[in-house]
Amino acid sequence: MVTVKGSVITVSSLTGYFEAPWLMKRGSTYYLVYAANNAGANSPCTPTSYHACIAYGTASSPLGPWAFRGVILDIVSSTTSHPGIYQMNNNWFLTYHTRDAVGGTHFRRSIALDKLEWDDSTSPPSIRKVVQTKRAAPAGQPSRNIAPRATPSASGTTPIQYWIAAINDGRVETNPLPPDYWSSYAAERSPQTSTLTYTWPSAVQLNGVAMAFFADQPAGSNIGVPPPASWRVEYLNSGGAWTAVSPSGGYPTTVTDSPTEVRFTTISTTSLRTILTASGNGQYGGIGVKEWFAYAPTAV
């Protein structure tokens, strides 16, 4: 395109439109496929403000008006994903990017291709939800860390740029983006205390924990995200009461991607929680957790 022809048309009817439009025509219908982000409680696909799914709209003209038709690809391993659609003989494919390749990051991406199918019983024909396929993963090694088997939750409202699911995803990023860790940071409204909880579907045995913290401020700061002032761990006992574990030492607040394990007397529980106290006085810094490890006595 060298010069603009006609007037610029603003499209405001496509839910969560963010970036990366792909415009195509099939039959008499135009399809606009795009990266969508409208993070929040009512979002169709994006848990944080850094994620994007792939959504689409249809129109009878390339200039619209556009009608939102839904989400065709959920979030992938990279924060965003940009679409492309092509036809080969009688088959259609969606191309998009992920971080699934060895050594991949949010910005060192690889290309994925999956089959795209149409539902011609609707008017206009709709795009069915695309199923992400991946090569078979190598068999997992036995591990004492059984945190990935739990469901994580946080007290209060997690600010929309952070992700509670990051604390037990098995990844500790050296240079994380906000959805790679959980944080309580809310500027001058950051809370003094926060509670993170793991819940397992059945009782598990545990005898240790470790915490990989994120920080962008020094210890003792009341701005940004410093290391926490302190933290402790409790478990839900058989009577349904929260009870402190019996650690063999203190709870370290050192910021490291290889945190020291806090050992304690073996417990049996369906739920574990950590109470974190923020740094500051009157105004508090946020707390950032990259990964919270929960260790069983033996590898499973």
Lowest mean pLDDT across 56-60, 136-140, 284-288: 136-140
Q: Name the token pair of 60.
A: 């009878």
Q: What letter would DSSP give residue 42?
A: T
Q: Name the token pair of 290.
A: 């990259």
Residue 272 predicted with pLDDT over 80? yes
Q: Name the token pair of 121.
A: 């019983």
Question: For position 39, what pLDDT does the model report?
Answer: 82
Question: For position 1, what pLDDT does the model report?
Answer: 58
Spell out the residues 6+ positions from residue 143 whose beta carbon is closer than 8 angstroms to its own.
299, 300
Residue 195 predicted with pLDDT over 80? yes
N- to C-terminal Cα separation, the chain: 59
Residue 229 predicted with pLDDT over 80? yes
* Range 58-62 contact pairs with CB under 8 angstroms and sequence separation of 24 or more: 58/29, 58/30, 58/31, 58/32, 58/124, 59/29, 59/30, 59/32, 60/28, 60/29, 60/30, 61/30, 62/23, 62/25, 62/30
Question: For position 145, what pLDDT does the model report?
Answer: 98
At 154-185, the pLDDT tens digits run 998 899 999 999 999 999 999 999 999 999 99
- Strand, coil or helix: what is 65? coil
Question: For position 86, what pLDDT does the model report?
Answer: 95
From the list 288, 296, 292, 290, the residue with the least C-alpha distance to 210 is: 292
Cβ contact 78:173 at 8 Å: no
**Burial category of 136 from C-beta neighbours within 10 Å (exposed 0-12, middle 13-18, buried 19 and up):** exposed
pTM confidence score: 0.90
Q: Name the token pair of 278.
A: 């923020």
- Strand, coil or helix: what is 116? strand
Q: Which one has a higher pLDDT value, 126 or 10?
A: 126
Question: For position 46, what pLDDT does the model report?
Answer: 85
At 95-121, the pLDDT tens digits run 999 999 988 999 999 999 999 999 999
Instruction: Categorize the per-residue pLDDT at 43 as very low, low, confident or very high, splitting at 50, 70 and 90.
Output: confident
Instruction: Categorize the per-residue pLDDT at 270 as very low, low, confident or very high, splitting at 50, 70 and 90.
Output: very high
Share of the chain above pLDDT 70, in %: 99
Average pLDDT of span 9-32: 94
Compute the distance between CA of residue 67 and CA of residue 59 in angstroms, rounded to an integer.
Answer: 7
At CA 281, angle to CA 275 and CA 286, rounded to 5? 50
Question: For position 44, what pLDDT does the model report?
Answer: 77
Spell out the residues 6+ positions from residue 13 whose beta carbon is closer than 8 angstroms to its own.
57, 64, 65, 66, 67, 68
Spell out the residues 6+ positions from residue 260 whose beta carbon is closer than 8 angstroms to its own.
210, 252, 254
